[in-house]
Structure 1
Amino acid sequence: MSGVITEFAPAKINLSLRVGRAREDGYHPLDSLVTFADWGDTITVRDEIALMMSMSGEASEDLIEEENNLVLQAARALQDHAGIDKGAIIHLHKEIPVAAGLGGGSADAAATLRALNQLWELDLDLDELARIGLSIGADVPACVYSRPLRMRGIGEWIELIDNFPAFNAVLVNPGVKVSTGKVFEAFDETEPAELKEAKGRGPNVLDWLSREPNSLERPAMKVQPKIKKALGWLDRQDGVELVRMSGSGASCFAIFEDDADAEKAADAYEKFSVEVGLAGFRDGELIWC
């Protein structure tokens, strides 16, 4: 395929996140209900003799010093899997803050796999791309699908979810980066129990979510207290239905009853904020509020 291929890399939102005691290999088992926003990064690829990369967007400034970022790792993993030496110019336009708990790097890697799969005419399906993605990072398989799903294991067990509602939401970040490693260290200090997986959701997703945790929320607030302030601020906004931290933080989200209240909250937050739609799925298609 000649020309230019563009793939959207949406922000990943952990609507719920259960985490258990670390396994013998050091990885933590999890059970997470995930969806994706209508906002994120963009990957553009076109033919070239070798692999090269360029970046734009304010958030990309934090990646300039990384010579082996997840985008290039994804491209090389796909080359190795397919047994080819084709090249490409890969351009990343970055909106998602780095180290924000929104899966930005994983989303970029997944979009790179999808884009180069088309450019190089490999004809691999999403399941195979997800298997390749797991070698890059535990969140990459979910981001390959970029639709409502349940993640288990360390991220390799994916259950795609049908008949899932869409939501109006606001994402905020209190202007701090949080190391995932440090959050898990703080989590391990709580002497966590073995993972207890979530029970069935039932007909009302919001009621179910209100009873579900993000197991990393308290450890993350210990690492970075500004997360607690962000959650408290969101909880005080008009029309809010659910407030939660996403992933390992520091970004938090709130689900709103309508987009007018969501827009008002996004405009009022003094740090990074964006009003988004969170994807639902019905009749074989993504749906939005």
Structure 2
Amino acid sequence: MKKAVLTRWSEIAPAKLNLALHVRGKLPDGRHALETIFAFCTDGDRLWGEPADELSLTITGPFAAMLDDGGLNLVHRAAAGLAAEARVGRGAALTLDKRLPVASGIGGGSADAAAALRLLTSMWGIDPAFASVVAPQLGSDVPACLLSMTCRGEGAGDELALVDAGISGAAVLLVNPRVPLATGDVFAAWKGNDGGPLIDWRTGRNDLEKPAHKQVPVIGRVLDWLKRQPGAEFARMSGSGATCFALFATEDAREAAASACPAEWWHLATTLR
């Protein structure tokens, strides 16, 4: 009996959280010098791929209308970059199920690009080292999203070291007020004050929270609401916002908070990897 040949590949694009994010200054290349702890959820967007002669991308899901499926999309750019780097003469028919809000501080586009690199590495049967070369060309968060494991990021956030933050399996609730927030605008509003190094994420901070809050004041309401929920042990904004998150003592407490979340806000009840 012949073994079935896999003709459709699938890859999760886990939501990214910054447990802490310290902006320390500027790098010689003009990017911001960061110290951060990345963590990843068990849920996120989902990418499928099938062999094809050319590269194509179809986007479905609740946030599909907010994205361009052409060559500017990070998934398309990741696929084209990997094909060029590895000199692959094949294409792929990719389908992205966009479940995470766009421009929300949880690495949606970066996670999608990283998922494309992992999926196509398997589908095309090429060395994963090619994906590691392409990832930093797509954005500072893409290397961490390619890894999708708890890690410390330095440099522009792309110099990575695995860490044990003691949060694997933790119950977490993500909440977004459905207001897109451009990363560049938030960084541009950062005042340039170095608040000191990141020693421990629980006692750390997110230096982008204040400039993000000034642009989207509802972030303060989201954070206050999360902190008031029974069983919430820790709450913070992720990345450049506007998504905030809370870690809960139990899954039951997280589920109760998810059920109570205001209807006008997007939320995701999940766990950390």
Q: TM-score, normalised by structure 1?
A: 0.88
SS in 2 for 1:42: strand
Q: 1:65 to 1:48 in 2, by over 3 A?
A: closer
Instruction: Show the counterpart of 1:94.
Output: 98
Distance in 2, matches of 1:255 and 1:163, equals: 13
Query: Quick one: which of 154, 177, 180 aligns to 1:174?
Result: 177
Alpha-carbon distance, 1:65 to partner:
6.5
The structure 2 residue matched to 1:19, chosen from 17, 23, 26, is: 23
List runs of 5+ in structure 2 lacking aligned partners: none
**Shift in alpha-carbon separation, 1:256–1:2, aligned structure 2, 3 A:** closer
Which residue is 2:145 aligned to? 143
> How far apart are 1:61 and its partner, in Å?
1.2
Give the Å deviation of 1:67.
4.2
C-alpha separation between the residues in 2 aligned to 1:226 and 1:66? 32
Selected match of 1:70 from 69, 74, 77: 74
Alignment of 1:43 with 2:44, yes or no, is no
Per the TM alignment, residue 24 of structure 1 is displaced from its structure 2 partner at its CA by 3.9
- Please name the residue that 2:213 is paired with: 221
For residue 269 of structure 2, the aligned residue among 254, 260, 275 is: 275
Do 1:169 and 1:262's aligned partners in 2 also have CA atoms closer than 8 Å?
yes
Match of 2:61 in 1: 57
Q: What runs of 5+ residues in structure 1 fail to find an aligned partner?
A: 200-207, 280-289
Equivalent residue for 1:191?
A: 192
Instruction: Write the distance in 1 (CA, Å) between the matches of 2:65 and 2:124.
Output: 29
C-alpha displacement of 1:2: 5.3
Aligned pairs, how many? 266
Moved over 4 A (4+): none
Q: Which of 261, 266, 273 is the matching residue for 2:253?
A: 261
Question: What is the percent sequence identity of the aligned residues?
Answer: 38
Match of 2:157, SS state, is: coil
| Cα 1:49/1:247, change in 2 over 3 Å | same
**Counterpart amino acid of residue 132 in structure 1:** V
SS in 2 for 1:21: strand
Cα distance in structure 2, aligned partners of 1:25 and 1:114: 28
Asked if the contact 1:98/1:104 (under 8 Å) is kept, the reply is yes
C-alpha distance in 1 between matches for 2:224 and 2:269: 18
Matched residue type, 2:267: S
For 2:189 and 2:251, the matched residues in 1 are separated by 36
The residue that corresponds to 1:28 in the other structure is 32
Tell me if structure 2 keeps the 8 A contact 1:131–1:141.
Answer: no
Secondary structure class of the residue paired with 1:39: strand
Q: Deviations over 1:62-97 (max 9, x none)?
A: 004754100000001101111122101011011011
In the alignment, the residues of structure 2 paired with residue 169 and residue 2 of structure 1 have an alpha-carbon distance, to the nearest angstrom, of 34
Q: Secondary structure at the match of 2:245?
A: strand
